[in-house]
Amino acid sequence: MINPSPLMRLVAGVWGFKTLAVGVEFGLFTRLAGGRTITVAEAAAEFGLDERPADLLLAASASLGLLERAGDGYRNTELAEQFLVEGRPYYFGAQVRYSDLRTYLPWHRIADALRTNRPLTWDPQSQQSLFDTVDPEMVAQFWDAMFSTSSFTARALADTYDFGAHTRLLDVGGGAGAFPIELCRRLPQLRATILDLPHVCAKAQERIAAEGLADRIGTVAGDFLADPALPGGHDVVLLSMILHDWDEPTNRALLAKCHAALPPGGAVVICELLLDDDRTGPPEAALMGMNMLVETEGGKNYSGAEYAAWLADAGFVDIERLTFDAPGANGAVVARRA
């Protein structure tokens, strides 16, 4: 018999997110790094809590698969140990923090966004973009969140698509450089260029230098929407988590620039949370589309079939869809310039 339990699980979804977010805020998982176990009494003392809330936090975190029982206490699961401990290569806590501090409250007004077709995290009438703000901390949080989400996504893409045939990568809107850093670590023959706004390039250069890759990854300051052409000299162009920010005409224009910038045989790789062709899921892609309503003026998530059609219209051939599982994307659409 059908029952409303699935609806209750949707209701409780926000409880799960906020439990995760407060665990990251408290540094719970970082404190338990390396196999440390903590009891309820120890957690109460360490976080300045009464034992009741400490007990509830640990139990709830365990129910979400973030902690597990170990004797009289709790310890990190492998998931938390790998992705919620600060300093780990694929630390995801920055995305949790950004979502909690920046997008959670605007989502409470999602009906306003639906009725007005306007973003909620910034005002297009007074700001040129999401980044036109006097709050540098928010901008820093955004780029940390994007790096957090992109690092493991880059790993999943590299496991699925063979970049070994390429020698020069152009990462359009590459942010702080998560994809080029991951790919260049793996592929000694690869050199990369990040095209992004000047202040973003400065942040990318810091990350690249910290990884010891300044001799292989460069930056070009520019605006990939406003500039008439993309930098040449590359045999693969990456558009990762870029096209969902914009409407169809903008994306078609950008794909035309990609085609013009590539040599014959060069490839374009669109890495995104792809909707099913019938636009019924998966939830990760469909809900990210709703988030684009909150965060952008014209963005939405698209299906693999839509990207394939745009690529074909731009003159690309050998169009292929690849699938994988990562926080920032569930697949890629790859095509080649004839």
Rounded average pLDDT over 279-307: 97
Same domain, 139 and 243: yes
pLDDT at 159: 97
**Residues 153 and 147 sit within 8 Å (Cβ to Cβ):** no
Do 23 and 151 share a domain, yes or no? no
327 shares a domain with 190: yes
40 in the same domain as 148: no
Q: Which amino acid is at 160?
A: T
Say yes or no: 64 and 200 in one domain: no
Average pLDDT over residues 97-123: 94
**CATH number of the domain encompassing residue 321:** 3.40.50.150
pLDDT per residue over 61-77, tens digit each?
999 999 999 999 999 99
Domain coverage including residue 272: 93-337
Q: Are residues 140 and 201 in the same domain?
A: yes
Could you tell me if residue 33 is inside a domain? yes
The verdict on residue 88 lying in a domain is no
Same domain, 20 and 132: no
173 shares its domain with 304: yes
Between CA 195 and CA 201, with CA 200 as vertex, the angle to 5 degrees is 55
Task: State residue 90's pLDDT score.
Answer: 94
pLDDT digits 0-9 by tens, 5-35: 999 999 999 999 999 999 999 999 999 999 9
Last residue of a domain, one of 61, 83, 105: 83
Q: Pairing state of beta strands 236-240 and 267-272? A: parallel
Helix, strand or coil, per DSSP, at residue 74: strand
Give a yes or no: residue 211 inside a domain: yes
| pLDDT score of 278 more than 70 | yes
Rounded Cα distance, 272 and 301, in Å: 8
State the SS3 of 245-283.
HCCHHHHHHHHHHHHHHCCCCCEEEEEECCECCCCCCCH
C-alpha span between 90 and 264 (Å, rounded): 35
Final residue before a domain boundary, out of 37, 63, 83 = 83
Residues 125 and 28 in one domain: no
Does residue 37 share a domain with residue 158? Answer: no
Which one from 166, 199, 234, 244 is the annotated catalytic residue? 244
| Span 160-176, pLDDT tens digits | 999 999 999 999 999 99
Query: What pLDDT sits at residue 294?
Result: 96
Cβ contact 75:38 at 8 Å: yes
Domain total of the chain: 2
Q: Indicate whether 189 belongs to any domain.
A: yes
The verdict on whether 244 is a catalytic residue reads: yes
CA 135 to chain centre: 21
Is the domain of 62 the same as that of 101?
Answer: no
Residue 126 main-chain phi, psi, to 5 deg: -120, -10
Q: Is residue 192 situated within a structural domain? A: yes
Domain's final residue, options 51, 83, 115: 83
